[in-house]
Amino acid sequence: MKLVLAVIDGCKPSMLERAVTTGRAPALKAILERGAYVDDSVAAFPSVTPVCAATIATGVGPDGHHIPSMNWYSRAERRYVEYGSSFSASRRFGITRQLTDTVYNMNGHHLSPDVRTVFEALDDAGVRTAGTTYLMYRGRHRHEVARDNILSRAAGTLFRHPVLGPRELFYADIFSSRRTPCRSQLGMPGVRDKHTGCVAEFLVREDLFDFLLLSLPDNDTWSHKHGPHAQVESIAEADRQMVRMMDAAGGIDAFLDEHAVIVAADHSHAGVERVIHMAEAFEDYAILRPLGDNAAEAEIAVCPAQRSAMVYALVEEGRGALLPRLVRTARATPGVDLTMWRTSSGEGAIAAGDAELRFAPGSDVVDRRGERWSLEGDLDVLGARIEDGRLLTPAYPDALGRVWSALTTPTAGDVLLSAAPGYEFADWGGVAHVGGGSHGSLHASDSLGVLAWCGTGPDSRDARDEWSLRDIAPMVTGHFGLG
C-alpha cells in the first residue's frame, strides 16, 4: 500500500477538531474515522519549523540532526545562519545568503551526514519517493534547477546548483523533476498549499510514487497573522488540497482504500501579546551584528527564533566568567520563562526565576518516553511531579529529553531561552507576531500538535504513552518493512 505523509504546519489539535466537527475538513475526518488520532504529539525543542522538520524527516532530535533553530550562529563559519524568520530579518543578513542557507545549505551542509532522512532510507530500498516543497528534502536523486517557466528562469540567476532529493522533487518553482501545470509563485504564502495540491493530483494521476511527503505550510503563515484560533479557515484550505489529491484516485474513500496516510503537525501555535527584544536584554554585552562587521570586538551572538532564543559566547578568554553572567542576564529578563545551559560538570540546568533544576541521563526517575534521568534541585521549575518513580511534566511535555537534546546539539548556543506564555522574541528584523500566533517554546501551548494515521502504524494511540515527532520516521520506514 502506498503512503502519504501530510505535514500541516503548526496545526493546533483543537482547531483541527473544530474544522472536522463543523464539516470543513472531510478528508481529515475520514482519516480520523478510519484510524488513530493523537492530540498531544510532542514537538522538538526549539519548536520552530526547521528543527521540527528535520526531526520528522530523520526520527532524531537536534542533537542527532544538528539543525538547532531558525536563526543560529555557525562557529565553523563564524557567521549567523538565518532560514527566513521574516523578510525584514532576511534583509538584515542578506537575501542571497538567507536563500542559499535555506534552499541549499540546510540540506547540503547543516543537516548531519550521519543521519538518513526518510527519503534516503526509502531511496536506498528502491521505494519510489516524492516530495512537495518542504524544508527537508535530502534524498539520493540528483535534480537540476528547473528552466521550464519564467519564474524558474528568473530564479536561476540565484539558484544554479543541483541538489539531491527524492525521486520526484517539486520545490517551489526552483526544482521540478517533471513538467507540470503547477506554479507556486516561488513559494509565496497563500499559494504554497495550492501548489502542493496541484502536484499531488498530478502524481496520483500518473502513478509516480509509493511514498509522498505532502507539505501544507500555509496554516502556519495564517496562524502567525490571525492567531491560533483562526486556524479553521487555513486547515480547511489544507483539507481542500488533500481532497484534490484524493479525487485524482476516485474520491476520498477510493483513495484511502489504496493509500495509507499519516497526518502530522510539526508544532502548534500560541497567542502572542508581548515582545522581548534581545538587543535590549543583553545591552551590556558587545553583540555580533548580522553582517559580522564588528566581529573583532563582539562578545556574544544572539539568535531569536520566535518563542525561543539562543545566546552564543564568542570569546575564549574569560569564558568561564562570561557564561554565568549570561545566565544571570537571561534569568532576569522579563518574559523569559526558562533559561537552560550546561554546567561545568556537564549536567543540564533549567532555571525559572530563582529556582533551578539540574539533570542528566541517569537512573533516579523515568519519564513518559521511558528515558531515565538523575535529578537535583527544584521540580517546580517545570511544574513537575514524581508519581511511583515516574516523572510527569504536563506543562512542558518531554521536558528533560527535549532540553537535553537541544543542549547537546553541537551547533546550539551556550544559553537557551524559552519564552513565557504570551511572549515572543522579536527577530533580527524587529518582527514579532503580536495579536497573532507563534511557537518555539518548551511550553505545552505551542509544543503539542496533531498526529493521525490510517492504513499504517499501530491500531491505536495507546501503543505509546507519549507520542512525539521522533516516532514519525520509524512509522514511515516501518510501513515499507524497513527497520
pLDDT score for 320: 85
Query: What residues does each domain of the chain span?
Result: 2-67+111-269+443-479, 275-433
Q: Work out the pLDDT band at 149, boundaries 50, 70, 90.
A: low
Cell numbers linked to 10: 503548526
pLDDT score for 185: 74
Return the percentage of the chain with pLDDT > 90, whole number.
Answer: 92
Mean pLDDT in residue range 404-418: 98
Calculate the average pLDDT of the chain.
95
pLDDT score for 316: 85
Span of 58-62, 123-127, 147-151, 179-183 with lowest mean pLDDT? 147-151
pLDDT tens readout for residues 46-55: 999 999 999 9
How far is residue 93's CA from residue 73's CA, in Å, rounded to a whole number? 12
Identify whether 46 is preceded by a cis peptide bond (ω within 30 of 0). yes
**pLDDT at 78 > cutoff 80:** yes
Any idea of the CA torsion for 433, 438, 443, 447, to the nearest 10 degrees?
180
| Contact call for residues 129 and 169 (beta carbons, < 8 A) | no
Mean pLDDT in residue range 448-469: 97
**pLDDT at 153 > cutoff 90:** no
**pLDDT at 467 > cutoff 60:** yes
CATH of domain 2-67+111-269+443-479: 3.40.720.10
pLDDT tens readout for residues 8-57: 999 999 999 999 999 999 999 999 999 999 999 999 999 999 999 999 99
Strand partners, 349: 341, 358
pLDDT tens readout for residues 164-197: 999 999 999 899 999 999 988 766 777 899 999 9
pLDDT score for 151: 52
pLDDT score for 148: 67
Strands, DSSP E only, in 283-381?
Answer: 300-305, 308-313, 336-342, 348-352, 355-366, 372-377
Provide the b/e sequence for 277-315 (b: ≥16 CB within 10 Å).
bbeebbeebebbebebeeeeebbbbbbbbbbbbbbbbbe
Cell numbers linked to 399: 521536558
Cell numbers linked to 283: 545591552
Return the percentage of the chain with pLDDT > 70, whole number.
Answer: 98
Cell 529529553 belongs to 401
**pLDDT at 63 > cutoff 80:** yes
pLDDT tens readout for residues 292-342: 999 999 999 999 999 999 999 999 888 889 999 999 999 999 999 999 999
